[in-house]
Amino acid sequence: MHVPSGAGSRRAAKALSTALSILFLAACSGAPDEDMYAIANGVDAEVGGIEVRSLLIVSAAESEPGRLLGTLFNRSQEAVEVSLSDADDKVAVVVEGNTNHGFDTNPAILDSVGDIPGSRVTVTISAGAETEELQVPVLDGTLEAYRPYLPSVPPSR
């Protein structure tokens, strides 16, 4: 059977396109046992039964106040006290049982951040008897979504 060259080229192109689409979709699907996670700017951890999600600090500059953002989830029945500290400040919150504590609606401010926006600072999180050090990103108001969370600095007198 003789197929005109135009029709054959179209069929070949369509077959190639279909094959590439199948390969692309297969590559995107990942392995069935692959860990899936949400992509966010902050860091995640689990400390003393508390799930720490998307923890970050918003600050205008090095040595300026920094506001914690992220959420603490307590899946247990009991309230848990959680402390978060950097090199010179400490914030403590109580997360009631079966609830979460969002820093977007419950402001927690560190008096000064030890590094510039764009860097990571060490934050120690303690919950119950467990403690973990995290490298937490510091962001500024460059991204519009974080501008409302920049801590205001009182004017100098």
Characterise 63 by phi-psi region: left (phi > 0), alpha (psi -120 to 50), beta (else).
left
Amino acid (one-letter) located at 30: G
Same domain? For 94 and 142 the reply is: yes
Count of structural domains, the chain: 2
Same domain? For 86 and 11 the reply is: no
pTM above 0.85? no
For 78, the token pair is 């009991």
For 33, the token pair is 């046992």
Per-residue pLDDT of the chain (157 residues; tens, 9 = 90+): 555 556 666 665 565 555 444 444 444 444 444 444 545 789 999 999 999 999 999 999 999 999 999 999 999 999 999 999 999 999 999 999 999 999 999 999 999 999 999 999 999 999 989 999 999 999 999 999 999 999 985 544 4
Same domain? For 77 and 10 the reply is: no
Distance CA 94, CA 84 (A): 11
Same domain? For 24 and 51 the reply is: no
Answer yes or no: is 157 within a domain. no
Q: Which residues contact 38 (CB under 8 A, 6 or more apart)?
A: 54
